[in-house]
Amino acid sequence: MASKKGVLAVGGIVTAVAAYYYLKPSSCPKKMVDQATLSKLEAGFQKLQNAQDCHSLLKKYLTRDVLDQLKTKKTDMGATLLDVIQSGVENLDSGVGIYAPDAQSYKTFAALFDPIIDDYHKGFKPTDKHPQTDFGNIEHFVNVDPKNEYVISTRVRCGRSLKGYPFNPMLTEAQYKEMETKVKGQLATFEGELKGTYYPLLGMDKATQQKLIDDHFLFKEGDRFLQAANACRYWPVGRGIFHNDKKTFLMWVNEEDHLRIISMQKGGDLKEVFGRLVKAVKHIEQKIPFSRDDRLGYLTFCPTNLGTTIRASVHIKLPKLAADRKKLEEVAARYNLQVRGTAGEHTESVGGIYDISNKRRMGLTEYQAVKEMQDGIIELIKMEKSL
Ligand code: ADP
Ligand code: CIR
């Protein structure tokens, strides 16, 4: 039997250890969320509450209850709720405002991710399961503007994450380099029309980089939403772009997602553009294992890209419909389409050119996501003609 003295001694040690961690939050055990993070979470919540002009899904769904439920949670890699929400707290004009620092975050912080996923993808309940990959019959796709009257160019992209690696905020510099080397090796195996060259961002001269951005081939630099999400560490290490000679097939390495696979060309031939993307995805999938979740589909850094990860877009001029951008957005939303500016998300239209794409990517197949864009664009063109 333990003596009274012994029990007191053990009790004393336990109290001392607890007091030590309480008083020295920076040395908390790995599983505990430290006091500084808790304070930042509280301040972030208040900032969102006070911001009259903030209309993000983060503000909508981060209730006091959800905050209290999640603020002390951590993933095995050490990600906290602060890592999830910091971009939306810093950028009050975010549309969404959250990112997943690692795959486990989608489960650990489900009380916040699930309602945002449901809202963005227009109905994807926690009990729903994303369907199996299905690119469907390419023959069902067409040139949405055969007379070249409205559509300037067509693009379809998807995102992929390499199995075994976390997302940007948790990656080490060594992992960025390792991933780039792995991907580069596989990019060299593309043949025929898909054959191309990998250009690392590290060492690329500024003029070349800017030209690629201006021509809509390369991701922009210094995205404040990604920066605030801690997604641009070690930039430009491990980042780069691959493209074929014609720049109709491209791959972004380690920007927002590990990989963005892109097919694009002038005009409205969606059948050709999507066909090329499917060919490329099938080739790369044979060589590189990707992260896919049974419920969420392909895993990505931003919850808006989960599932199919497909964004099929046209650069289009609809002068009558677009006389009022708000009105254009309303009409597009009827067909589940999203309107972006000429240089992509969070940009304005230049010369009346808009980027219109499918909005939802989850709870439907790849075929359905692209078809949704095709059907909607054909309708918008009909409306423009009738005005
Ligand atoms: P993502 O589509 O990869 O999510 P962005 O909205 O930032 O990201 O767009 C990336 C780039 O692709 C931007 O330069 C944008 O103008 C360009 N882009 C998108 N759709 C088209 C299109 N249909 N034709 C030409 N460029 C496009
Ligand atoms: C926002 O909330 O507006 C940004 N974080 C971007 C959200 C969706 N876009 C993306 O992932 N590129």
Counting Cα atoms < 13 Å in the Cβ hemisphere of 47 gives 17
Catalytic site includes residue 224? no
Band (38; pLDDT cuts 50, 70, 90): very high
Structure token digits, residue 272 = 């050709």
What are 345's strand-pairing partners? none
Identify the active-site residue in 248, 302, 308, 361: 302
Structure token digits, residue 86 = 């910091």
Element (H, E) at 100: none
- pLDDT at position 31 is 79
Between 311 and 1, the more confident residue is 311
CA 42 – CA 70 distance, rounded (Å): 12
Which residue is listed with tokens 């003295």?
A: 5
Phi then psi for 139, rounded to 5 degrees? -65, -15
pTM > 0.85: yes or no: yes
User: For residue 15, is pLDDT > 60?
Assistant: no
290 C-alpha vs ligand 1 centroid, how far in Å? 23
Phi then psi for 246, rounded to 5 degrees? -80, -5
Task: Confirm or deny that 157 is annotated as ligand binding.
Answer: yes
**Chain-wide mean pLDDT for the chain?**
93
- pLDDT at position 23 is 45
- pLDDT at position 11 is 54
CA 86 – CA 317 distance, rounded (Å): 36
CA 42 – CA 302 distance, rounded (Å): 23
Q: Is 315 in the pocket of ligand 1 (CB under 6 A)?
A: yes
- pLDDT at position 181 is 97
* Chain CA centroid to CA 171, Å: 16
Catalytic site includes residue 180? no
Task: Confirm or deny that 130 is annotated as ligand binding.
Answer: no
Residues 6+ apart with CB under 8 A from 218: 209, 212, 241, 252
Element (H, E) at 86: helix 81-90
pLDDT tens track for 332-383? 999 999 999 999 888 999 999 999 999 999 999 999 999 999 999 999 999 9
pLDDT over 90 percentage in the chain: 90
- pLDDT at position 215 is 96
| 7-21, 83-97, 240-254, 315-329: range with lowest mean pLDDT | 7-21
Pairing of strands 196-200, 151-160: unpaired
Residue 151's closest CA among 323, 334, 315, 38? 315
- pLDDT at position 345 is 87
Band (29; pLDDT cuts 50, 70, 90): low
Preceding peptide of 236 cis, ω within 30° = yes
Residues 133-159: what's their mean pLDDT?
98
Q: Is 308 in the pocket of ligand 2 (CB under 6 A)?
A: no
Catalytic site includes residue 157? yes
Whose alpha carbon is nearest atom 10 of ligand 2?
A: 302
Residues 6+ apart with CB under 8 A from 233: 168, 169, 171, 173
- Residue 158 near residue 299 (C-beta atoms within 8 A): no
- pLDDT at position 25 is 44
Biggest CA pair distance of the chain:
93
CA distances 133 to 234, 308, 362, Å, are 33, 7, 11
User: For residue 26, is pLDDT > 50?
Assistant: no
pLDDT tens track for 57-102? 999 999 999 999 999 999 999 999 999 999 999 999 999 999 999 9
347 C-alpha vs ligand 2 centroid, how far in Å? 12
Q: Is 328 helix (H, G, I), strand (E, B) or coil?
A: helix
User: For residue 8, is pLDDT > 70?
Assistant: no
Identify each DSSP E strand in 161-319 by its residue range: 196-200, 240-244, 249-253, 259-266, 292-293, 297-298, 311-317
Counting Cα atoms < 13 Å in the Cβ hemisphere of 384 gives 20
User: For residue 10, is pLDDT > 70?
Assistant: no
Q: Is 265 in the pocket of ligand 1 (CB under 6 A)?
A: no
pLDDT tens track for 198-209? 999 999 999 999
User: For residue 44, is pLDDT > 60?
Assistant: yes
125 C-alpha vs ligand 1 centroid, how far in Å? 29
- pLDDT at position 287 is 87
User: For residue 21, is pLDDT > 50?
Assistant: no
Pairing of strands 151-160, 337-340: unpaired
Q: For the chain, first and last CA: distance in Å?
A: 91
Q: Is 154 in the pocket of ligand 1 (CB under 6 A)?
A: yes
* Chain CA centroid to CA 132, Å: 20
Structure token digits, residue 358 = 């499918």
Q: Is 324 helix (H, G, I), strand (E, B) or coil?
A: coil
